[in-house]
Amino acid sequence: MVKVMVLGSINVDTILQLSRVAVPGETLAVNEKSNAAGGKGANQAVAAARAGADTAFIGKVGKDDLGNKMLKTLQKNNIDTTHIAEDKKHGTGSATILVYGDGQNNILVYGGANQEVTLTEVKAAKSQIAASDFLITQFETPQEDAVLAFQIAKENHVTTILNPAPASEISPDLLKVTDLIIPNETESATLTGIEVTDEASMDANAAKFREMGVKNLIITIGDKGAYYNTESAGHGFVPAYKVHAVDPTAAGDTFIGALSSQLKPDLSNVKEALMFAQRASSLTVQKLGAMPSIPTLAEINAAQEKDEEK
């Protein structure tokens, strides 16, 4: 079984369904309201665990009811929460997700306890990081934590995966210890300065990331698919499955978690793992909410079998 460790955010999401985007100064009725567990880190961990990976987590919640709820939720998903700390001063992270009638969304995030993860807490997880196959992180916790965690991982031959979301300036020290970077097309363009429009521009993005110190790249491009460029498997494009999208929230997180559950540490099977990840995320977008929409291994396999029968 693949061992995955995630350093990342833990949020409680409020999902508001609206017919369209409000214009400045307008009051717009909300059609439906719901709450769900979320956070990019937590979503990725749950996706990995549900897809069959042995999963552990480094993070922080507030010492509040929401934090307690999130710990129980992660534990119910068979995630090791030993290295999730509690913060007495800051509340558990939260996000408000606005979902529109056309299936698009906007997300407003309150970092809270996620921004208070310390280097000491990362160091405390050193032995578990060292025992992992993959270490994944994003940008919803401090970058200095990511740098230290990735340095520990590299010292112990653990493959590191960076999801640079939300896109921001990346520390050169973090890039030096990143094996695989997985941005979407907007994030990739923001970080490289090269707009993603076709395969040639994707190749140019990969070349730029190599200059920055990262040798392996996957760019997710929504309902079109995913581009890969790796040392062991070359480069190519895997198209997405065509489905009716209801809510894209957590589609990218599902993709990354599911991908990690199938990848070999040397990334040699990246194309096959991408196909699995694409199938998982195609199931996620067909349901509302973040964590509730993430599929299980049985659901992913059943969808793949159904597709093969056609």
Residue 20 lies inside a defined structural domain of this protein: no
Q: Give the range of the structural domain holding residue 56, as residue numbers without chain letter.
A: 3-10+39-90+114-309
**Residue 101: its pLDDT value, please?**
86
- Known binder of ligand: residue 224? yes
62-72 pLDDT, tens per residue?
A: 999 999 999 99
The answer, yes or no, to whether residue 310 has pLDDT greater than 70, is: no
* Per-residue burial over 276-286, b = 16 or more CB atoms within 10 Å of its CB, e = otherwise: bbbbbbbbbbe
User: Is position 131 within any domain?
Assistant: yes
Among candidate residues 64, 87, 179, 253, the one labeled active-site is 253
The domain spanning residue 212 has which CATH number?
Answer: 3.40.1190.20
Give the C-alpha separation, 252 to 124, whole Å: 29
Question: What gap in Å lies between CA 194 and CA 201, rounded to an integer?
Answer: 7
Residue at token pair 């009811």: 65
pLDDT at 103 over 80: no
- Tell me the percentage of the chain whose pLDDT exceeds 70: 99
Residue 103 lies in a domain: no
Q: Is residue 30 part of a domain?
A: no
- What is the domain count for the chain? 1
Q: Is 96 annotated as a binding residue?
A: no
Whether residue 18 is contained in a domain is answered as no
pLDDT in tens, 71-80: 999 999 999 9
For residue 158, CA distances in Å to 47, 161, 269 come to 20, 10, 17
Domain contains 22: no
Residue 101 lies in a domain: no
Q: Is 129 annotated as a binding residue?
A: no
pLDDT-based confidence at residue 269 (cuts at 50, 70, 90): very high
- CA distance linking residue 188 with residue 153, whole number of Å: 24
pLDDT at 55 over 90: yes
Average pLDDT over residues 267-277: 96
- Residue 42 assigned to a binding site: yes
Mean pLDDT across 171-190 = 96
Q: What local confidence, expressed as pLDDT, does residue 289 receive?
A: 76
Is 179 annotated in the active site? Answer: no
**133 located within any domain:** yes
**Average of pLDDT values for 130-156?**
98
Residue 294 confidence (pLDDT) = 96
**233 vs 236: CA distance, rounded Å:** 9
13-29 tens-digit pLDDT = 888 999 998 889 999 99
Q: Is 41 annotated as a binding residue?
A: yes
